[in-house]
A = this chain, B = another copy of it.
Amino acid sequence: MSAQSPTVISFTELRALLEQVFTRHGTSPEVAAILAHNCASAERDGAHSHGVFRIPGYVSTLGSGWVNGKALPVVEDVASGFVRVDAANGFAQPALAAARPLLIEKARSAGIAVLAIRNSHHFAALWPDVEPFADEGLVALSVVNSMTCVVPHGADRPLFGTNPIAFAAPRADGSPIVFDLATSAIAHGDVQIAARKGECVPPGTGVDSLGQPTQDPRAILEGGALLPFGGHKGSALSMMVELLAAALTGGNFSFEFDWSNHPGAKTPWTGQLLIVIDPGKSAGQSFAERSQELVRQMHAAGLRRLPGDRRHRTRARAELEGIVIDREDLDRLKGLARG
């Protein structure tokens, strides 16, 4: 069998394998379980730029001493709608997991609650952070800043991160409505994937090291930078993400951390904000019925695919048939799980 041939693995097996990889490279079992679930979910949903593709970056970062894979997040109950977490230089996902029960309790009681995570590393997709709230009937919005690689609209050099915005809302008949969009023209992971495949990126994606427009992903990655999506509007949203995810949490801006003493470090050391709203406090018909009506009308207007649809379909297929993965990638994961 050739090294490039595809093979199939179940979600449970992939998650268990990734847990081994994480613990083998220095995380606690608790952190390993959370990150493995997150990463296996992205791979299962076909979100390849945040699936097992990320594992070498996690491993080199843990090896560099840049992140604390055994960090114990410290949750602070600040006010009836405000929760803070110091992620203690660990990953953002365990910090969210630690604060989640309190955040949900506050959102249901106050009608809205905010979670401000600081001193955290986020190296994953953002939709896994919001979708579970919608599964419980809540509306969730999250932003996370990352690392300097986007030139603000009208500026000369990069400052912002790819700074994604993710949103999830329940609906009556079907999976939640979920989107997760980088405020850069494309996600950083997609530039890396294009570079690995030797493909071009679309026009308007980025600039080279001289600030000139380029479609070469390597030129963007090697001294170049990305542009915001949608010109000055995407740039304004990226600025908002810096303010919400860093200034409001006490985390670093995308340009503030220095990992030069940690070769191999890949995870941005910043902050993350989540806002969770209980639509049960709304007036009128139930939110889930109303969001379902919007979906109905979007389909009637000719929209074939809603945000999140492709992931949910890929997930359903993977649950029946398993996750298709390159044998070479799987062998590499197995190697990492051993040492």
Contacts and interface: CB of A to CB of B under 8 A. Distances in A.
A40 B156 CA distance: 36
Contact of A80 (B86, B109, B298): B109
Interface in A161-181: 165, 167, 169, 177, 179, 181
A283 to B, nearest CB: 3
A139 B287 contact: no
A72 interface: no
Nearest to A247: B290
Contacts of A298: 152, 155, 159, 239
Interface stretch (A5-13, A188-196, A249-257): A249-257
Given A110-B110, A294-B243, A297-B253, A157 B302 contact: yes
A307 interface: yes
Interface in A204-252: 229-234, 236-237, 239-240, 242-244, 246-250
Nearest to A139: B248
B243 A303 contact: no
Interface of A: 76, 78-82, 84, 86, 109-114, 116, 118, 139, 151-152, 154-159, 165, 167, 169, 177, 179, 181, 229-234, 236-237, 239-240, 242-244, 246-250, 253, 255, 275, 277-279, 281-285, 287, 290-291, 293-294, 297-298, 301-305, 307
5 contacts: A152-B303, A157-B302, A179-B240, A239-B307, A249-B282
